[in-house]
Chain A
């Protein structure tokens, strides 16, 4: 027989519970409390809490740190406006007869992609505005990523421990070019079709596998009938997803490494001086997002971009003067425009270097050099320290010079991409512009390097001068003997610190080529090549004043004052 179970009269389940009645004002806080009971939001904003580690994260304040934010916000704008465009855009190359409301295309045969772009522009409310915002934001996205990258380069922010984040940046940069190109090609208009034809040529120029690769990508011979659908997948799924992932990783690494700061009193490689993320940067960054959005909308509303209805539907039999890609592909276009016609004819085959070298070769070179630079520089300097204080570009003359040289070369290719526009706008000869550019792409960077390096060194010299002798007061004094001199006022200690805080490293010395046992010292120590590179890199630096020199200069100045009183 079963025992009767003991029934507890005090089970909590039997308690009649009356919910706590919130007091009058707490009613308003109801939703906040509801959320707070479930997510650790409120506690994130409290000090001495583990989660507020992120919210109270300190960011230094400088305008150049906002350039990356422009890229981030324009990416968000692209996602928002892009979603709107996907609602109406038809990624199909099927041919139809246009029946829409743009009269100058009435009855023309065109692809559905082009017809839907016309519909977006003329028949869908706000469609043209969104298209223009999307396109301007795309231009701003790549441009802001570029200047952000230049800031990181010139300030040495890519040094240890941030090399990986630099690589992520290079990845995002290259992907944004693909993203932009794929988007540009979608409307299937005459200009973008010409651009696609250009890329088709690039692909076909790859030795041996070119034709095969073309057939693979276009599903047959150019233009085929499925490349738009494929590009659409690349443009709205593949690359945005990759970009989004990389953006998240990029920002996570910024938080993990902490932001760098510019040199100044109290700023070291072991701290960050700035304001907390919350509330200061949330407000500033939030505000800045709306500014970027506002500028994109204003541009979209007042400045025409990619008026595809003027270009007409793509037709392989047509090509128009002024066929250019968007700016970020312009340098490749330029390289191909100025490349001499180099071809090999070997045993009945043609090897055409005039497209593959400037096209594929140059893109590979740019991204290769960008990716490798932090490691090359570390190899030259032998610097294995962590850096959280940024370099002032003048204190690293060779890096700054190389950066400006690279920008100059890029700009020359870029200008060459618009050689016809230069010719018509400035009344020049197309041939002369082209020939000039052929030389300029090699000579201008060298000149730019030399000039930049000289400027950096003079600025260093001026800094040393200022530390030792103070700043010019603007007061001219005449001595009793008739000579004139300008009085100098000593600079503040803070400024003197900023001007002298940078490390100056000795060049690496080559190790002995034979070790103690007379065996060749291969792979160990510093090679002769590396020592030479290092000597070149550190060679002409202006040695910054030492503490003793500053002390002495001060002493000297005091003496000057007293001798002046005696009539000098």
Chain B
């Protein structure tokens, strides 16, 4: 205590205190806002170096040597590890040829390589980190909360992804993908990073509880048995098609059969 009281009026006291306060706020902020966690910790330097190497080989041609962006690809500064995880594990990156929309492909990277790429891109600037399971896992939600997830899904997502998550068309050859079988982690990452035509839903628009509810709803919806063949959730167009092909088709065949049966009348 003596030390504090004696040095209280020292020239450097004010700046040091200010720095300490800033550090404290920063730490608190980092702890409380997981989405913006900065994963630039120095213990990762080997990983970052490996990521840098991978990046130079496969990504720099489009995204620039330091991820600053170029004519072929956007800047990756501040996109965060979540974006890298989403883009690379779903095979979108490295992109092949430009088209209306970069497609999903099979991912050729190992988990460690992706880890390294994430670590490297995270050093470029703060952005959403890879989520912890507690942020997307619907375990523990009540039925009412999951039903509310359905309402959230229909309000925010079904306009592009269809009521059942079967996907839908967007203008100019673009499309919203089907959501069946997409992991909760990828749903969270897609929402927070907004790949291509998809808007970003940040934590103030759709908090993590809401994301969990949506994930829970989609999981249960897709696990619910359908009331018969459901034609990929395409709705009335598919139903009409089958009414004609199966219904009218078979009844016309029956008509031909009945008319061809000779009458045994006296």
Contact = CB atoms under 8 A, between A and B. Distances in A.
Question: Most chain-B Cβ atoms within 10 A of its Cβ — which of A106, A121, A303, A321?
Answer: A321
A423 B167 CA distance: 11
Interface in A324-349: 324-328, 330
A292 B258 CA distance: 12
Contacts of A473: none
Contacts of A430: 169-173
Interface string B134-154: 000000000110111011001
A66 B220 CA distance: 45
Nearest to B244: A143
Q: Which 4 A-B pairs have the closest CB atoms?
A: A321-B168, A327-B240, A429-B173, A139-B243
A455 interface: no
Given A105-B150, A429-B100, 6 more contacts: A104-B150, A275-B265, A315-B151, A321-B167, A327-B243, A330-B240
A324 B237 contact: yes
A126 interface: no
B233 interface: yes
Contacts of A315: 151, 154-155
Contacts of A429: 100, 172-173
B13 interface: no
Interface stretch (A88-96, A280-288, A399-407, A525-533): A280-288
Interface string B152-184: 001100111111101111111101100000000
Nearest to A144: B248
Interface in A169-217: 190-191
A375 interface: no
B229 interface: yes
Interface stretch (B30-38, B63-71, B108-116, B249-257): B249-257
Chain A contact residues (Cβ within 8 angstroms of B): what range? 35 or more
Interface residues of B, number: 64
Interface in A87-125: 103-108, 121
Contacts, number: 212
Contacts of A147: 248, 252
Given A132-B228, A304-B228, A430-B170, A321 B161 contact: yes
Nearest to B175: A424
A136 interface: yes
B227 A132 contact: yes
Interface string B91-133: 0000000001000000000000000000000000000000000
Given A128-B227, A318-B155, A320-B158, A104 B169 contact: no
B180 to A, nearest CB: 12
A307 interface: yes
B234 interface: yes
Contacts of A311: 163
B204 interface: no
A104 B172 contact: no
B254 A291 contact: yes
Interface stretch (A25-33, A294-302, A489-497): A294-302
B150 A295 contact: no
Contacts of B235: 191, 322-324
A279 interface: yes
B43 interface: no
A412 interface: no
A103 B243 contact: no
A312 interface: yes
